């Protein structure tokens, strides 16, 4: 049994960590946090040069042709560094959808552009409040024209193209939904930036008015494709969350070692030690669940739906737990803009919602466990 990443994959993780510690310091993240730019263009270019954007994209489409395990270790480092770039929308959502359902022409056009950093992509799924569900998709497609509003769309205002779910039928079944690909630079779409919890990952509202779109995947297959995409993205995001949780835990531990109160390091008080121990427990459970997700993703195992939901829940809980208690360990300083704690708190809570909320995934997990038990 080798339920672990290989030495090469661990080396890639170290390489990514080193690169990000140089190019993505908290100071660099703050340039985006303060709203001066919507994302870190230099970093994005650097990630492309390192081959990180196309790590799971096959070589024939301009990628490194490595695999999802390699993408998982990079995702972990992106989370640890709180990277302010459209990585998750472009790589986990847009590229994965193209890989699953894109035509050769679509893959040839967009995947090399993603790998080289020239194109930012996203998935426009949500339309206001609510979780992923066919019945929450109102945006209509007819005769290749889209009309409706998507919000929030991650990186919607900076993306070059969007994949979106649209209603093409009214039977009340899953096959009412089809996917489309829209070149956002071609007109017919209005993007409005939305102020959001985590300014280092921007969000937008996209309004489509008689917007031209090309189908992606077979008509009526939209929901089935999306389900697969969301499972993959859940695993990859879980690694970002695991990376973020670990970093928040480290920040708390380091502060507890350095901060003196009542004549001793606060890390010598059991109230603080036990809080940090519980953070370690949550982070460890999340990491192990995420490894299982990574295994299922990389082998395309039938266990993926269940493993993805478990990774999603566990990693969401762990990052939220570690980020909030990191602030608590820091006391008042943790609640200042100056300290970095709030950046992880913001990211933790934004990631907890992006693919559908915790309660949605809890429901999914039990559904999937029942299906497996029945099978």
308-327 binders of another protein (CB under 8 A): 309-310, 313-314, 317
> Judged by CB under 8 A, which of 30, 151, 212, 273 binds another protein?
273
In terms of Cβ atoms closer than 10 Å to its own Cβ (0-12, 13-18, 19+), residue 349 is middle
Torsion of CA 87, 158, 355, 18, to 10 degrees: 20
Asked whether position 294 contacts another protein by CB under 8 A, the answer is yes
The neighbouring-strand residues paired with 191 are 206
Asked whether position 289 contacts another protein by CB under 8 A, the answer is yes
Residue 363 CB contacts under 8 Å (≥ 6 apart), including other chains: none
CB of 319: closest distance to another protein in angstroms? 13
Q: CA–CA separation, 22 vs 19, rounded Å?
A: 5
- Binding part of the chain for another protein, among 29-37, 149-157, 270-278, 335-343 by CB under 8 A, reads 270-278
The angle formed by the CA atoms of residues 33, 34 and 35, to the nearest 5 degrees, is 90
- Binding part of the chain for another protein, among 91-99, 199-207, 211-219, 285-293 by CB under 8 A, reads 285-293
Q: CA–CA separation, 352 vs 361, rounded Å?
A: 10
Q: Which long-range contacts (CB under 8 A, 24 or more apart) does 101-110 make?
A: 101/179, 101/216, 101/217, 101/218, 101/221, 101/225, 102/181, 102/216, 102/217, 103/216, 106/181, 106/214, 106/216, 107/61, 108/61, 110/161, 110/181
Q: Which is nearer to another protein, 37 or 366 (CB)?
A: 366
> Judged by CB under 8 A, which of 50, 109, 280, 324 binds another protein?
280
> Judged by CB under 8 A, which of 164, 204, 251, 286 binds another protein?
286
Asked whether position 245 contacts another protein by CB under 8 A, the answer is no
Q: CA–CA separation, 28 vs 339, rounded Å?
A: 14
Asked whether position 274 contacts another protein by CB under 8 A, the answer is yes
In terms of Cβ atoms closer than 10 Å to its own Cβ (0-12, 13-18, 19+), residue 170 is exposed
CB of 131: closest distance to another protein in angstroms? 12
Asked whether position 353 contacts another protein by CB under 8 A, the answer is no
Q: CA–CA separation, 110 vs 113, rounded Å?
A: 5
Phi, psi (rounded to 5 degrees) for 161: -145, 155
Asked whether position 333 contacts another protein by CB under 8 A, the answer is no
> Judged by CB under 8 A, which of 107, 253, 321, 346 binds another protein?
253
> Judged by CB under 8 A, which of 295, 319, 344, 345 binds another protein?
295
173-192 binders of another protein (CB under 8 A): none
Location of structure tokens 């209509």: 140
116-175 binders of another protein (CB under 8 A): none
Q: Which is nearer to another protein, 117 or 252 (CB)?
A: 252
CB of 272: closest distance to another protein in angstroms? 8
Q: Which two tokens stand for residue 187?
A: 């007109």
> Judged by CB under 8 A, which of 133, 281, 333, 335 binds another protein?
281
Is residue 342 within 8 Å of residue 324, measured between CB atoms? no
Asked whether position 265 contacts another protein by CB under 8 A, the answer is yes
Positions in the binding site for another protein (CB under 8 A): 1-6, 69, 249, 253, 256-257, 264-265, 267-268, 270, 272-274, 276-278, 280-281, 284-289, 291-292, 294-295, 298-299, 309-310, 313-314, 317, 359, 361-363, 365-366, 369-370, 373
């Amino acid at each position: 049994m080798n339920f672990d990443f290989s030495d090469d994959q661990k080396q890639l993780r170290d390489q990514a960590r080193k690169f990000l510690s140089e190019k993505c310091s908290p100071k660099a993240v703050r340039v985006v946090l303060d709203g001066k730019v919507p994302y870190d263009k230099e970093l994005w270019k650097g990630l492309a040069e390192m081959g990180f954007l196309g790590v799971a994209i096959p070589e024939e489409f301009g990628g490194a042709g490595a695999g999802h395990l390699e993408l998982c270790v990079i995702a972990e480092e992106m989370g640890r560094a709180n990277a302010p770039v459209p990585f998750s929308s472009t790589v986990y959502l847009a590229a994965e959808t193209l890989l699953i359902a894109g035509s050769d022409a679509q893959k040839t056009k967009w995947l090399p552009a993603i790998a080289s950093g020239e194109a930012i992509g996203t998935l426009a799924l949500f339309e206001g409040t609510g979780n992923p569900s066919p019945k929450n998709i109102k945006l209509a497609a007819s005769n290749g024209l889209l009309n409706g509003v998507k919000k929030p769309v991650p990186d919607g205002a900076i993306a070059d193209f969007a994949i979106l779910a649209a209603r093409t039928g009214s039977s009340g079944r899953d096959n009412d939904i089809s996917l489309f690909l829209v070149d956002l630079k071609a007109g017919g779409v209005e993007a409005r930036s939305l102020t959001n919890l985590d300014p280092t990952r921007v969000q937008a509202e996209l309004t489509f008015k008689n917007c031209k779109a090309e189908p992606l995947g077979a008509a009526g297959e939209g929901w089935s494709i999306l389900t697969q995409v969301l499972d993959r993205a859940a695993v990859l995001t879980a690694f970002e969350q695991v990376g973020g949780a670990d970093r928040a835990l480290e920040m708390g531990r380091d502060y507890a070692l350095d901060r003196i109160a009542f004549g001793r390091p606060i890390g010598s008080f059991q109230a603080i030690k036990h809080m940090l121990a519980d953070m370690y427990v949550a982070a460890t459970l999340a990491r192990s669940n995420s490894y299982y997700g990574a295994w299922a993703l990389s082998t395309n195992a039938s266990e993926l739906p269940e493993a993805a939901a478990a990774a999603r829940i566990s990693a969401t809980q762990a990052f939220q737990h570690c980020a909030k208690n990191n602030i608590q360990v820091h006391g008042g300083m943790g609640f200042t803009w100056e300290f970095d704690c709030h950046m992880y708190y913001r990211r933790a809570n934004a990631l907890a919602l992006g693919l559908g909320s915790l309660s949605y995934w809890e429901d999914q997990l039990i559904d999937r466990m029942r299906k497996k038990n029945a099978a």
